[in-house]
Amino acid sequence: MADAAFLALSVITIGSAIAALELRSLIYGSIALMGTPGGVAGFFLLLDSPFVAMFQIAVYVGSIAVLILFTVMLVKRELIFKKVEDRRRKFAGIGLMLVFMLSLGAVIMDSGIKTITTDEPAVDFRDIGADFLTYYWPALILMGLILAGSVIGALILARREDITDEQRAN
């Protein structure tokens, strides 16, 4: 049975996910989005993996949420508050969500993982470091290259060529 910390974290996670999608203002939505990765980081702590939890907080709450917040601030004010959606589509989406949740939930409840528990000690984070440097080293280098490439690509994409240097000085 789940304990109180788990229940609180699941309320925070799912509630902030719904709030991020449904709040009228995009700015409040992006602030609410910080709750979902934060709650998932709490789940990681419950799962005895503090290293991944810290990484998650540093990357998601620290950088991605701030990046999204700044992008939202670059957008026109009336677009931030504008909500375009038709009702039929919304109800169809809610129906899809419920069907998906119930059917997948039923499949999982019916499967064998209901009985899985563990008394074994958690994986030490030193093992993760050893994994990264031995078995996964090509993937680690590739990931670094992908990150560098994506940052350079993002900078090139977002650059404006129509602004001349005189305009930039003003």
**119 forms part of the interface with other proteins (CB under 8 A):** yes
How many of the other CB atoms lie within 10 Å of CB of 10?
14
> What minimum distance in Å lies between the beta carbon of 40 and other proteins?
5
Q: Which two tokens stand for residue 14?
A: 């799912």
111: number of CA atoms within 13 Å, CB side? 8
**118 forms part of the interface with other proteins (CB under 8 A):** yes
Q: What are phi and psi of 21, to 5 degrees?
A: -85, -25
Gap between the Cα atoms of 139 and 136, Å rounded: 5
> What minimum distance in Å lies between the beta carbon of 169 and other proteins?
21
**8 forms part of the interface with other proteins (CB under 8 A):** no
> What minimum distance in Å lies between the beta carbon of 165 and other proteins?
19
**12 forms part of the interface with other proteins (CB under 8 A):** no
Q: Which two tokens stand for residue 71?
A: 């992008």
Of 134, 138, 158, 166, the one binding other proteins (CB under 8 A) is: 158
> What minimum distance in Å lies between the beta carbon of 110 and other proteins?
11
**59 forms part of the interface with other proteins (CB under 8 A):** yes
Q: Which two tokens stand for residue 134?
A: 């031995």
CB closer to other proteins, 71 vs 170:
71
SS3 content of the chain, % helix, strand, coil (to 5): 80, 0, 20
Residues between 120 and 149 that touch other proteins (CB under 8 A) = 120-123, 125, 127-128, 131-132, 136, 139, 143, 146-147
Q: Which residues of 131-150 are buried (b: 16+ CB within 10 A; e: fewer)?
A: eeeeeeeeeeeeeeeeeeee
Task: Give the single-character DSSP code of 89.
Answer: H
> What minimum distance in Å lies between the beta carbon of 143 and other proteins?
6
Residues between 75 and 114 that touch other proteins (CB under 8 A) = 75-76, 79, 83-85, 89-90, 92-94, 96-98, 100-101, 104-105, 108-109, 113-114
